């Protein structure tokens, strides 16, 4: 996973990690390497969750890191080794976001939205440029429950809803670094994320090159 939100990252603070290696070193390595740097070489292991993460600083230097990364890579990340996937968290996406090149090069683009009227209004206002950037690679993930079903939303916007993640206070506490991770895999949110990952893998064409965004 890469924390690529220009507003900054949270995971280093939540789980007590340093910023190095991380987004800043990955961007620097891309500047100095002719073929691009392997994302995995700049990740740190969040042992409790079993996830490798390229950590971003929690301040404006994160945006500089994202801009430096995409200016050298063009938004296409190098992923060494077989059968490895990279998830980029680009935060609250805007059309002018520094992370947009990552969106354009991603194999899949997932937008997380709640099934409530105000959230759907925000989605509607952004759909035209999201479609322009992602095309048929665009999918939706619903957060929690609300008055609109997955079928309602998919039919209204013509975008497939790939999964639904429940509100889970205990799971949120684990992801925030506040609760122990024992039996994490049994949490409702963990199961939902696993199901979502399976759907994404089944419905995403195999990339022709070792890349991800």
Do 114 and 101 share a domain, yes or no? no
Do 92 and 125 share a domain, yes or no? no
Place of tokens 């002018």: 96
**pLDDT recorded at residue 180:** 78
Q: How many domains does the chain have?
A: 2
Do 97 and 140 share a domain, yes or no? no
Do 92 and 137 share a domain, yes or no? no
**pLDDT recorded at residue 211:** 46
User: How confident is the prediction along the chain (213 residues), in pLDDT tens digits per residue?
Assistant: 999 999 999 999 999 999 999 999 998 888 776 556 788 899 999 987 889 999 999 998 999 989 988 887 677 786 765 557 899 999 999 999 999 999 999 999 999 999 999 999 999 999 999 999 999 999 999 999 999 999 999 999 999 999 999 999 999 998 988 887 777 888 999 999 999 999 999 999 876 554 444
Among 88, 105, 122, give the residue marking a domain's end: 105
**pLDDT recorded at residue 31:** 77
Report the DSSP beta bridge partners of residue 113. Answer: 142
Domain range for 73 is 1-105
Do 44 and 143 share a domain, yes or no? no
Among 71, 105, 139, give the residue marking a domain's end: 105
Do 113 and 99 share a domain, yes or no? no
Q: What pLDDT, in 10s, does the model give residues 136-167?
A: 999 999 999 999 999 999 999 999 999 999 99
**pLDDT recorded at residue 210:** 47
Q: What pLDDT, in 10s, does the model give residues 47-62?
A: 878 899 999 999 989 9
Do 99 and 198 share a domain, yes or no? no
């Amino acid at each position: 996973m890469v924390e690529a939100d220009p507003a900054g990252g949270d995971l280093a603070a939540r789980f007590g990690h340093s910023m190095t290696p991380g987004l800043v070193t990955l961007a620097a390595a891309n500047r100095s390497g002719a073929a691009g740097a392997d994302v995995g070489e700049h990740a740190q292991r969040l042992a409790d969750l079993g996830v490798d993460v390229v950590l971003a600083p929690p301040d404006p230097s994160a945006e500089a890191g994202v801009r430096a990364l995409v200016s050298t890579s063009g938004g296409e990340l190098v992923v060494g080794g077989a059968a490895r996937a990279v998830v980029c968290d680009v935060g609250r996406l805007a059309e002018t976001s520094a992370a947009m090149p990552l969106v354009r090069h991603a194999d899949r683009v997932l937008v997380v939205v709640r099934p409530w009227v105000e959230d759907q209004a925000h989605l509607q206002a952004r759909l035209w440029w999201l479609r322009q950037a992602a095309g048929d690679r665009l999918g939706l993930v619903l957060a929690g429950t609300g008055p609109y079903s997955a079928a309602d939303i998919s039919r209204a916007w013509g975008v497939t809803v790939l999964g639904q993640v429940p509100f889970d206070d205990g799971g949120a506490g684990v992801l925030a670094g506040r609760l122990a991770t024992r039996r994490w895999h049994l949490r409702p949110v963990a199961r939902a994320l696993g199901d979502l990952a399976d759907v994404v893998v089944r419905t995403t064409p195999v990339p022709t090159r070792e890349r991800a965004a």
